[in-house]
Amino acid sequence: MRIVRRTTAAAVLAATCLAAAACSPGTAVPAGEKAADDKSGTLQVWLYNEAGNAAKEAVVAKAVTEFQSAHQGVTVNVSYIDTDASARAAKMKGAFNDPSSAPDLVEFGNTDLPGYVAAGGLAEIGADLDKWADKGDLDPAIAKTAVLDGKTYGLPWWVGVRALYYRTDLFTEAGLAAPTSYDELVAATRKIHAAHSDTFGIAIGGKYTFGALPFVWDAGGDIAAKDGDKFKAAINSAASQTGVKRYTDLFDEAGCPAQQCADLTGGKTVDLFAAGKAAMAILPNSSRSKVDAGAAKDKYAVVPLPGAKAGSIAPAFAGGNNLGVMKAAKHRTLAVQFAQLLAGPGYQEQMYDAMGNLPTLKSVNAKVAAKDAFLKPFTDTIAAGTRFVPLDQAWAQIDAQAVIPTMLQQVVTGKADVAKASGDAATQITSAFAAR
Amino acid sequence: MSAPTTTAPAAPPSPSGRRRGAAAAAPPRGRRRTPLLLLLPAAVVMIPLVAYPIYQLGLLSVLNFGQAQASGGVPTSFVGLGNYRKILSDGQFWSVLSQTLGFAAFCVVATLAVGATLAVLLTRVGRVPRLVLTTAAMAAWAAPAMTGSTVWSFLFDTNLGLVNKTLVGIGLDGFHEFNWFYDKWTAFLIVGAVVVWHSFPFVMVTLYAGIRAIPAEVLEAAALDGANTWTTFRRITAPMLRPILTIVVIQSVIWDFKVFTQIYVMTEGGGIAGQNLVLNVYAYQKAFASSQYGLGAAIGVIMLLVLVIPTVLYIRSLRRTGNEL
């Protein structure tokens, strides 16, 4: 009898709970409903807090002063948010879930875009950008990374691409020139490792997705291909498998031994190359300062990563950051205007000088490349055409579940061959696209 | 695992707590509400802190609920058992589950062996060594899992780790740049060692207290009866420790089944190609890292159910020792 009464109490409690509806999972009011277009007040801006952020803050502060003097009664409040992937994801989710405390303008990684759009967090700014004087100057391949289903949700602010860093001293000693094809690259790892058994031919990693993808793209493969308006996994296509095999074949005794390299991330390969432990590495332009701080300083040069065909350039991943207007923005017009100022030619050039990030405007790119010979291989790589991950919110899931690294690691450690590992990856990619 | 069937022989044969409660089952009408009133303070705390979150977990697990739904971009939809079906049909889930059970079993056995040995040692050594050992164990216990895991990762680092340096230093050249986390089993072994390092102090202290609580007269009587050390242990110490041992085992099972930090930190999110995944890390990778809260909640419910079994045993053994709930 006591049990009966207890059950009744529980049932009553549950029923009250359901009726109150307060017990269902919290869902925010769609962000757009609270948006406004005030022409005065405080414009809230979130930018990434990067390594060496003081230089960035100085440039942004100048832009803020210029903007405030051009717009009377407007204050620009810039916060720098943690760039660590999970911290910034949490911060952005907070902004989406609570539109009333969301900023007006945000900087975000371009691979995050589809997820943010699906969450209803970003405003479409295509029409505003059409009126922007510098729009025609944007690199088209990079501009495409901010377009989803024909709608533009971001203004590309800067990009970073990877190229092949190599040790000039070791190459000269071995009588080699910089590799111009995949075969030459492999030959170089063998020759240098034969002379220096403690040196890795090339620093790569099993978790280095963006080091591996150029090999896949160069072979004519891709992560997924668009089939009509739907994505279809393509990582197990014959072309993709060729690319995966070329990358994973480098994890041998002469290249990067699996024991040491199977669990490396891209960041760790920078350390290896900077410490003088590797003869080559696939690193972004922004790694320059780190390499210069290590043993490899003054003993290296950079060329575009060669493709399989002699003289070709393997397509690089166009990583970078966009500026986006939040759907819940209270100052929509001002936010767009401030984004246009920051991404305009003047401040793009200053941002390059301060942070070493590559501009997204073609004219500024040419200008900084002329100014700094170091950049030429990177701008050449951009000019040869860059590629991108599937523009779909499924990418966030594919990335979080480490689908590509798992595939690479299975091959590198000999747990599976390329066909099996890429087949497993394709299954997971397909289910990620189906999950939306 | 089977519940212990022997009660401590030292305790006078008395009806168990539950039966005593049943004997007083027909109180005067007015006093029937007293137990409910007495439960009220606990309920005030437990319902919002435990019952409500579990209710939410269950609710989320039958919804398609991701970041897009949380921020109102896409309406939430009911998917019934869809999330469960997805997990249970995932081959990786089953291999991770068996791996988790195996790893937890290994950690429980190792923790108990280390903890019990040191507890016995504590009763045999003098005051100063006892103080040193207890302090060292407390320090390991007090170290946050995150800190402990990071420090141990440094020790076993491929290029700069003290362990590799030392092994090479004593002439074992095979350990030059040896990657301890490359092989699935060496990786599990080291993570297991860290888990044990974090949890043996609890076992040690509890068992030490248990051994100390055995009345000296009983041991003395045994000695007078001519019992040797082994007989004393088998006939007196072991039976009297059994209730405590049971609690310690169940507690360890629950802890080691839920290991997250050590695996996540030391194998960088589950090891090479996910070879060192355990259920908690799997749930995180599969669901929460990509904001699929519905799917993650379903994994949470499954873990809850798996853990309810040892928990029920735990509560039963608590009652047996006289700690009525």
Q: How far apart are CA B175 and CA A259, in angstroms?
A: 12
Q: Regarding predicted confidence, which is higher, B194 or B28? A: B194
Check CB contact of B272 with chain A, cutoff 8 Å. yes
Using the predicted structure, report yes or no on whether residue B21 has a pLDDT greater than 70. Answer: no
A119/B158 touch (CB, cutoff 8 Å), yes or no: no
Check CB contact of B76 with chain A, cutoff 8 Å. yes
User: A279 phi and psi, to 5 degrees?
Assistant: -80, -25
List the CATH number of the domain containing B194: 1.10.3720.10
- Which residues span the domain enclosing B137? 91-289
User: B183 phi and psi, to 5 degrees?
Assistant: -90, 135
Nearest to A401, CA basis, from B64, B83, B289: B289
User: Tens of pLDDT along B211-236?
Assistant: 998 888 888 898 898 888 888 888 88
Using the predicted structure, report yes or no on whether residue B30 has a pLDDT greater than 80. Answer: no
By three-state DSSP, how is residue B20 classified?
A: helix
Per CB-CB distance under 8 Å, the chain B contacts of A118 are 67-68, 73-74
A409/B268 touch (CB, cutoff 8 Å), yes or no: no
Among the partner residues B69, B268, B273, nearest to A415 by beta-carbon distance: B273
Q: What is the CATH number of domain A31-160+318-387?
A: 3.40.190.10
**Do the domain assignments include residue B177?**
yes
Among A326, A393, A395, the strongest candidate for a mutation testing the B interface, having the largest count of B CBs within 10 A, is A393
Domain count of the fold of chain B: 1
Using the predicted structure, report yes or no on whether residue B149 has a pLDDT greater than 90. Answer: yes
Check CB contact of B289 with chain A, cutoff 8 Å. yes
User: A272 phi and psi, to 5 degrees?
Assistant: -60, -45
Q: How far apart are CA A362 and CA A370, in angstroms?
A: 12
Beta-carbon neighbour count of residue A280 at 10 Å? 30
Extents of the domains making up chain A:
31-160+318-387, 162-317+391-434
Residue A32 confidence (pLDDT): 60
By three-state DSSP, how is residue B78 classified?
A: strand
Domains A31-160+318-387 and A162-317+391-434 share a fold: yes
Nearest to A309, CA basis, from A172, A175, A189, A179: A179
**Do the domain assignments include residue B309?**
no
Q: Regarding predicted confidence, which is higher, A171 or B160? A: A171
Check CB contact of A199 with chain B, cutoff 8 Å. no
Residue B323 confidence (pLDDT): 54
By three-state DSSP, how is residue B290 classified?
A: coil
- What dihedral angle (degrees, nearest 10) is formed by the CA atoms of A111, A114, A117, A118? -140
Nearest to A24, CA basis, from B73, B304, B82, B55: B55
User: Tens of pLDDT along B174-203?
Assistant: 888 889 999 999 999 999 999 999 999 999
pLDDT grade for B22, boundaries at 50, 70 and 90? very low
Among the partner residues B65, B72, B273, nearest to A413 by beta-carbon distance: B273
Could you tell me which chain A residue has the CA closest to the CA of B68?
Answer: A119
Q: If you search the block for the tokens 């990684």, which residue do you land on?
A: A109
Counts for chain B of helices (H) and strands (E), in that order = 16, 2
Q: How far apart are CA A292 and CA A299, in angstroms?
A: 9
The fraction of chain B above a pLDDT of 90, given in percent, is: 37
Residue A53 confidence (pLDDT): 86
B76/A27 touch (CB, cutoff 8 Å), yes or no: yes
**Do the domain assignments include residue B190?**
yes
Residue A29 confidence (pLDDT): 63
By three-state DSSP, how is residue B289 classified?
A: coil
Question: Across chain B, where does the E strand assignment appear?
Answer: 63-64, 77-78
**Do the domain assignments include residue B253?**
yes
Superfamily of domain A162-317+391-434: Periplasmic binding protein-like II (3.40.190.10)
For A100-136, b/e burial (b = at least 16 CB within 10 A) is eebbbbbbbbbbbbbbbbbbbbbbbbeebbeebebee
Among the partner residues A14, A260, A409, nearest to B273 by beta-carbon distance: A409
Q: Given the DSSP bridges, would you call strands A155-160 and A151-152 parallel, antiparallel or unpaired?
A: unpaired
B323 with B11: CB under 8 angstroms?
Answer: no
Check CB contact of B77 with chain A, cutoff 8 Å. no
Per CB-CB distance under 8 Å, the chain B contacts of A119 are 67-68, 70-71, 73
Q: Given the DSSP bridges, would you call strands A147-148 and A151-152 parallel, antiparallel or unpaired?
A: antiparallel
A206/B158 touch (CB, cutoff 8 Å), yes or no: no
pLDDT grade for B321, boundaries at 50, 70 and 90? low
Using the predicted structure, report yes or no on whether residue B287 has a pLDDT greater than 90. Answer: no
**Do the domain assignments include residue B278?**
yes
Among A6, A244, A260, the strongest candidate for a mutation testing the B interface, having the largest count of B CBs within 10 A, is A260
Per CB-CB distance under 8 Å, the chain B contacts of A93 are 67, 70-71, 291
Residue B230 confidence (pLDDT): 85
SS (H, E, C) chain A: CHHHHHHHHHHHHHHHHHHHCCCCCCCCCCHHHHCCECCCEEEEEEEEECCCHHHHHHHHHHHHHHHHHHCCCEEEEEEEEECCHHHHHHHHHHHHHCHHHCCCEEEEEHHHHHHHHHCCCECCCHHHHHCCCCHHHECHHHHHHHEECCEECCEEEEEECEEEEEEHHHHHHCCCCCCCCHHHHHHHHHHHHHHCCCCECCECCCCCHHHHHHHHHHCCCCCEEEECCEEEECCCCHHHHHHHHHHHHCCCCCCCCHHHHCCCCHHHHHHHHHCCCECEEEEEHHHHHHHHCCCCCCCEEEECCECCCCCCECCEECEEEEEEEECCCCEHHHHHHHHHHHCCHHHHHHHHHHHCCEECEHHHHHHHHHHCHHHHHHHHHHHCCEECCCCCCHHHHHHHCCHHHHHHHHHHCCCCCHHHHHHHHHHHHHHHHHCC
Residue A245 confidence (pLDDT): 97
B177/A400 touch (CB, cutoff 8 Å), yes or no: no
User: Tens of pLDDT along B82-140?
Assistant: 889 988 988 889 999 999 999 999 999 999 999 999 998 998 888 999 999 999 999 99
CA distance B93 to chain A (A): 13
Q: Regarding predicted confidence, which is higher, B11 or B101? A: B101
Per CB-CB distance under 8 Å, the chain A contacts of B72 are 27-31, 120
Check CB contact of A206 with chain B, cutoff 8 Å. yes
Residue B283 confidence (pLDDT): 87
Query: Which H/E stretch holds residue B87?
Result: helix B82-88
Q: Can you list the residues of chain A whose pLDDT is less than 70?
A: 1-34, 436
CA distance B260 to chain A (A): 16
Residue B16 confidence (pLDDT): 43
Per CB-CB distance under 8 Å, the chain A contacts of B273 are 206, 405-406, 409-410, 413, 415
B177 with B156: CB under 8 angstroms?
Answer: no
Among the partner residues B70, B285, B293, nearest to A400 by beta-carbon distance: B285
Check CB contact of B290 with chain A, cutoff 8 Å. yes
**Do the domain assignments include residue B195?**
yes
A25/B56 touch (CB, cutoff 8 Å), yes or no: yes
Check CB contact of A205 with chain B, cutoff 8 Å. no
**Do the domain assignments include residue B41?**
no
Q: How far apart are CA B292 and CA B99, in angstroms?
A: 23
Beta-carbon neighbour count of residue A37 at 10 Å? 11
| Distance, CA of B305 to chain centre | 15
**Do the domain assignments include residue B34?**
no
Check CB contact of B13 with chain A, cutoff 8 Å. no
User: Tens of pLDDT along B290-302?
Assistant: 778 888 899 989 9
A206/B291 touch (CB, cutoff 8 Å), yes or no: no
Strand-pair partners of A106: A46, A324
Residue A68 confidence (pLDDT): 94
Give the DSSP letter string of B294-321.
Answer: HHHHHHHHHHHHHHHHHHHHHHHHHHHT
Q: Given the DSSP bridges, would you call strands A319-325 and A105-109 parallel, antiparallel or unpaired?
A: antiparallel
